[in-house]
């Protein structure tokens, strides 16, 4: 595998990891400290949206051929 | 069982950490919705950035073979955007004032890891005042509620509360009920 491709894959993995750590913090705060119905609803919407956007990003990530972007 | 699980989105009680046995939540308050709508609206403009960039440079991106990369960057933009929107909503939602039949609890969540909780027992309340400032606050009926305690010169300010008049009346009713030794009727 070309090194740039490895770097690209690692960068994407790190970006997803950071996103899901931050998402966990949001979900934890909403469900653990939220009072009443509103925080639970927000947590559900946030989780649903995060899954959709993440799936979309993964599909688009698979479509990118990073080696074709390097000028020869 | 699944049906039961989904009831938490309809029937969650206003219970909170540190609630005493038999303590009844009379009012759960958050800042007026206008307070969060303004930053959210400004933030939503950020969602248009990939759309505008795509509309302006679509053919250029396609010619250079950058279309897939642009779509990936846009999806990452929306991921960040989604997270930022919910960061604002979380901080807004966690900033609460809980009025119970015994005390008032003010939870000031400045950040995820920066929380200040103040508690005020209703028998120590001496005076409640409200302050509505400006055209928007007057028309949308929100303002600051200041509660003065008997203990010292300390006072509590609950900022941008909806219907401050009602809050003031309720606090005064609880205080007088506590002094008289009867429970407040809400």
pLDDT for position B12: 64
Query: Is residue B185 scored above 60 in pLDDT?
Result: no
pLDDT for position B16: 83
- A-B contacts at Cβ under 8 angstroms: 83
Query: Is residue A24 scored above 70 in pLDDT?
Result: yes
The complex scores an ipTM of 0.91
What is the Cα–Cα distance from A16 to B29, expressed in whole angstroms?
A: 35
Strands (E), chain B: 25-29, 96-100, 103-111, 114-121, 125-131, 142-149, 155-162
Query: Is residue B132 scored above 60 in pLDDT?
Result: yes
How far apart are the CA of B180 and the nearest CA of chain A, in angstroms? Answer: 30
Instruction: Check CB contact of B82 with chain A, cutoff 8 Å.
Output: yes
> pLDDT band at residue A43, thresholds of 50, 70 and 90?
very high
Residues of B in contact with A62 (CB under 8 A): none
How far apart are the CA of A62 and the nearest CA of chain B, in angstroms? Answer: 9
Predicted TM-score (pTM) of the model is: 0.87
- Residue carrying structure tokens 């989904």: B6
pLDDT for position B35: 93
Q: Taking phi first (over 0 means left), then psi (-120 to 50 degrees means alpha), and beta for anything else, what does residue B184 get?
A: beta
What is the Cα–Cα distance from A54 to A48, expressed in whole angstroms?
A: 10
């Amino acid at each position: 595998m070309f090194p740039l491709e490895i770097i690209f894959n690692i960068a994407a993995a790190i970006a997803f990891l950071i996103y899901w750590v931050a998402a966990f913090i949001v979900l934890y705060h909403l469900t653990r400290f939220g009072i009443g119905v509103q925080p639970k609803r927000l947590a559900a919407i946030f989780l649903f949206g995060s899954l959709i956007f993440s799936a979309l990003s993964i599909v688009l990530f698979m479509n990118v051929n990073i080696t074709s972007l390097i000028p020869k | 069982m699944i049906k039961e699980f989904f009831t938490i989105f309809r029937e969650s009680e206003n219970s909170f950490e540190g609630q005493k046995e038999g303590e009844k939540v009379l009012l759960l308050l958050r800042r007026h919705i206008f307070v969060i709508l303004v930053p959210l609206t400004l933030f939503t403009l950020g969602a248009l950035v990939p759309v505008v960039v795509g509309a302006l440079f679509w053919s250029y991106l396609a010619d250079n073979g950058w279309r897939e990369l642009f779509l990936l960057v846009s999806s990452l933009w929306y991921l960040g955007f989604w997270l930022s929107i919910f960061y604002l909503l979380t901080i807004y939602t966690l900033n609460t004032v809980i009025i119970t039949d015994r005390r008032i609890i003010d939870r000031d969540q400045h950040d995820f890891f920066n929380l200040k909780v103040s508690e005020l027992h209703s028998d120590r309340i001496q005076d409640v005042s409200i302050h509505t400032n400006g055209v928007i606050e007057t028309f949308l009926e929100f303002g600051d509620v200041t509660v003065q305690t008997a203990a010292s010169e300390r006072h509590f300010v609950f900022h941008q509360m909806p219907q401050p008049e009602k809050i003031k009346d309720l606090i005064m009713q609880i205080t007088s009920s506590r002094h008289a030794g009867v429970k407040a009727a809400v």
